[in-house]
Amino acid sequence: MPATPGIPAQPGRPAPVPAPVSPTPPGRRTAFAEGVDRVRAAATTEPGRLRIIGAVLALLVVAFGAVTAWQSSERAAAADDVLHSSQPLSSGAAAIYRSLADANTTASSGFLAGGQESAASRDRYEKDIRTAASGLVTAAANAEPGSASEATIAKLNRLLPEYKGLIERARTYNRQGYPVGGAYLRYANEKMQTRMLPAAEDLYTTENQRLDADYADATPYPWAAIALGLLALAALGWAQHRTYRRTNRVLNHGLVAGSAATAVVLLWLVVGHTIARSGLDGSYDHGIRSLSVLHDARIASLKARGNENLSLVARGAETITVGGKPYDAYYYDFDKDMAVLGKGLSRAATLADDRAGSTPVKAAEGNMAVWKQRHASARAEDENGNFQQALDKVIGAKGATGECFDSVDANLARAIDHEQAEFQRSAGDGRDAMTGLPVGAAVLAVLGAAGAAAGIGRRLSEYR
């Protein structure tokens, strides 16, 4: 016998016989492939097809309910944030800005009065400082850690005591008759105008961006849920029609119940979200936009009043050159602020959609017109060297520009309160339109899936 290749033959012994090599066993099929084969085999019989149809219908209806509950709960949460979180924080940021600007204006008015500063003026200043400090505490509690808002709030919390200290020094030296008091007041005003108010404006802008983001999350249509609802209804209708063609029975009670539950959820979703979207859009168009314009107008009036006062405090010490021509810096800024105020009031009057909103705005426009006339008279006295007469026309007890400023501020406050109430009503209606939808959709979807399964089960029982 010839030697086996690779195995040496030994003398006196037969060559070893190699063991037979068994063929490689076929690879084991996956569970998924076996499942597909079972489904394919089941689909060749009517009971198998019915089971597949029932499973698909139940899955579609449950998926529709789950997506509806998810998307509607997200939008309801965003709408609630608009009403109870981002918009109040936006208004709070505007209140911080207004309080700081008003404190600065009140401090300059009190400085002009010298030793005759009234208790009301002092109390107003202290109230503004407390309001700003309280607003910063609220903003800090709601700011995200490490965010730009947190850094801005920390900056304002650091600058506020510094500003207050400068004002107290200015008052102390002013009461003693030292001119250095005016320098301290101007330094405090510079800190407010160049550092504190821009920081407060940044905070206001950031909170408005958060508000816009919440609106963007609350208002889009839930297209995924709507598409699944239409698909589920189409599948249920097809199954009902298929049953009719095979049995000549007009209605399958289970499939009808499943279709009804699905249709109710879909109708609730579309109608509820349409109403919610309408309410939220209304709260933005007739609330947020007006509030933004009114806040800006009120801030412009405060800045104008502050510059009017500071022009008398500085007595021409601060000048600015524009187009090669020198101007008193504070009078120049006053004119710019009044132009902003006029445009703001005009815009606010256009946005006001009812008499209650437009009346205070029109009244503020009238107050502003008188203010400009009185200011022109006071400026003429100041430029002619009649300081006391100019001072009386600015902070006097009667017929002064201060009366006009107070009227403008009071009317703008009324307009803001009205628009705030309009916002809350519309945004509340928008949020309430989605109340109960997530839970209701989930419950009805389960009932609809159960109905579809029962209807298919009824057909299956006929084959037993």
Question: pLDDT 10s per residue in the chain (464 long)?
Answer: 455 454 455 555 555 555 555 554 555 667 667 666 676 766 667 777 888 888 899 999 999 999 999 999 999 999 998 988 888 888 889 899 989 988 988 888 888 776 566 788 889 899 999 999 999 999 998 888 888 888 999 999 999 999 999 999 988 888 887 878 888 888 888 898 889 999 998 999 888 888 999 999 999 989 999 999 999 999 999 988 888 887 766 678 888 999 999 999 999 999 999 999 999 998 888 889 999 999 999 989 988 988 888 888 777 667 777 777 777 788 888 999 999 999 999 999 999 988 999 999 999 999 999 999 999 999 998 888 888 898 889 888 788 998 999 999 999 999 999 999 999 999 998 888 888 999 999 999 999 989 888 888 877 777 65
Closest CA to 83 of 353, 274, 280: 280
HSE (side-chain half, CA atoms, 13 Å) at 119: 0
Q: Where are the alpha helices (DSSP H) in 43-193?
A: 46-81, 87-113, 119-142, 148-175, 180-191
**Res 310: pLDDT:** 82
Considering Cα of 142, then 145, then 147, then 151, what sign does the dihedral take? positive
CA distances from 313 to 108, 123, 179, 186, 207 (A): 8, 21, 10, 8, 35
Angle at 68 between CA 233 and CA 254, to 5 degrees: 35
**Res 1: pLDDT:** 45
Closest CA to 261 of 389, 451, 133, 416: 451
**Res 24: pLDDT:** 47
At 326, is the secondary structure helix, strand, or coil? strand
60/452 Cα distance (integer angstroms): 10
**Res 458: pLDDT:** 77
**Phi then psi dihedrals of residue 371, to 5 deg:** -60, -45
Q: Where are the alpha helices (DSSP H) in 18-45?
A: 31-42
**Phi then psi dihedrals of residue 321, to 5 deg:** -105, 125
40/7 Cα distance (integer angstroms): 53
HSE (side-chain half, CA atoms, 13 Å) at 421: 9
What's the whole-model pTM score? 0.76
**The residue type at 114:** G
CA distances from 326 to 34, 317, 329, 331, 376 (A): 91, 12, 9, 11, 18
**Res 325: pLDDT:** 78
Structure tokens at 199: 């920081």
The angle, 0 to 180 degrees and rounded to 10, between the axes of the packed helices 401-432 and 387-395 is: 30
Residue position matching structure tokens 């079972």: 38
451/313 Cα distance (integer angstroms): 82
145/356 Cα distance (integer angstroms): 41
**Res 339: pLDDT:** 94
69/25 Cα distance (integer angstroms): 50
415/153 Cα distance (integer angstroms): 28
Q: Where are the alpha helices (DSSP H) in 176-196?
A: 180-191
5/1 Cα distance (integer angstroms): 12
Residue position matching structure tokens 């009190």: 110
40/50 Cα distance (integer angstroms): 13
170/181 Cα distance (integer angstroms): 4
Closest CA to 111 of 162, 186, 163: 186
Residue pair 76/438 in contact by the 8 Å Cβ criterion: yes
CA distances from 417 to 77, 311, 357, 367, 422 (A): 25, 32, 9, 19, 9
